Amino acid sequence: MQITHRLEQRRRFLRTLAVGAAGLYTTRGLFAEQLTETAPSTEGPFYPDTMPLDTDNDLLIINDAITPAIGTVVYLDGRIMSASGEPIRNAFVEIWQVDAKGSYLHTGGRAKGGADTNFQGYGRFITDTQGRYFFRTIKPVSYTLGGFRSPHIHVAISRNGRRVFTTQMATKGDATHAKDIVMSRMSQAEQDTILRDYVPLPGSHLGELTANFDIVLGRTAQEIDGSFRGGVGKPVWDPKTFNQ
């Protein structure tokens, strides 16, 4: 029964990707002369210090495990674009976040309640010719690890082996942003570029959600192919300031 349920989850994931891909072409302002650049945000100190055995784009199931992660299932999709709306193809997109217990996939990012060992905690995806990416994960939760953080998902983008952009997708309408140690330092205009809604997945009887996070890099596709700071799997943050 558990195996059948897991297979059905996988099938639903693939069906959702197809639906999400179709919806991306209706992104408001996609063909405007200049799109609003997505605000960057700190990577924080909890980028995985040891990669999980499974690094695919389905964070709910680790390899061939039967037991899924705890949490509300979210199908996350979006496009990586330049400021003029050009799709950034073959971009290496990484996401990482805490599990339902508030723990990261990092030895220094564990909550007192422990960790959900069934949650992958990190995933990666290479964008297609339309700049699209897809993930299945859980709805993020708030946590306190040295400082309060409201729900968010970290996102990093690399091209040609070099990190070109880092940000966080925050939960729209969450009342705790005002006391968040990162969000409280951002202007409302900056916050508006990373705040996103979670909406019910059509036809789901399991309370699953969808979220769309299009990311505008503010450079042309040609510029993004150039050299920038950082690199894949190399954290860029100031250890003197506890930004997570």
Residues 6+ apart with CB under 8 A from 10: 58, 61
> 63, 52 in Cβ contact below 8 A?
no
Q: Structure pTM?
A: 0.82
Boundaries of every domain in the chain = 2-224
Rg, Å, the chain Cα set:
17
**Residue 109 phi, psi dihedral angles, 5° rounding:** -120, 40
Q: Is 149 a catalytic residue?
A: yes
Residues 6+ apart with CB under 8 A from 49: 106, 107, 108
When comparing pLDDT for 185 and 228, which is higher? Answer: 185
Is 154 annotated in the active site? yes
- Which among 149, 177, 196, 219 is annotated as catalytic? 149
* 69 has pLDDT over 60: yes
Within 8 A by CB and 6+ apart from 1, the residues are: none
- Tell whether the model's pLDDT for residue 30 goes beyond 90: no
* DSSP letter, residue 177: G
> Residue 47 CB: number of other CB atoms within 10 A?
21
Write the pLDDT tens digit of every residue in 123-177: 999 999 999 999 999 999 999 998 999 999 999 999 988 999 999 999 999 999 9
Q: Active-site residue among 12, 124, 154, 219? A: 154
DSSP 128-143: -TT-EEEEEEE----E
> What is the structure's pLDDT at 34?
80
Q: Which of 12, 47, 75, 104 is catalytic?
A: 104
Show the CA angle centred on residue 74, arms to residues 69 and 79, nearest 5°.
Answer: 130
Q: Average pLDDT for residues 188-193, to the nearest whole number? A: 97
Tokens of 84: 């003029």
Q: Is 152 a catalytic residue?
A: yes
- C-alpha–C-alpha distance, residues 162 and 224, integer Å: 10
Question: Does residue 104 have an active-site annotation?
Answer: yes
**Least confident residue range of 29-33, 107-111, 116-120, 175-179:** 29-33
143 catalytically annotated: yes
Averaged pLDDT score across all residues of the chain? 84
> What's the pLDDT band for 12 if we cut at 50, 70, 90?
low
- Marked catalytic residue, from 12, 106, 152, 196: 152
In the block, tokens 């680790």 appear at 62
DSSP string, 182-204: TGGGS-HHHHHTTEE--EEPTT-
Distant-in-sequence, close-in-space partners of 225: CB < 8 Å, separation ≥ 6: 159, 160
Token readout for 154 is 């970290």
The fold adopted by the segment(s) 2-224 is Protocatechuate 3,4-Dioxygenase, subunit A (2.60.130)
Instruction: Find out whether 127 and 93 touch, Cβ atoms under 8 Å.
Output: yes
**Residue 31 reports pLDDT greater than 60:** no
Catalytic one of 75, 122, 133, 143: 143
Q: Where does the chain show beta strands of DSSP type E?
A: 73-81, 92-96, 122-126, 132-138, 143-144, 148-149, 152-159, 162-171, 195-196, 199-200, 209-212, 215-216
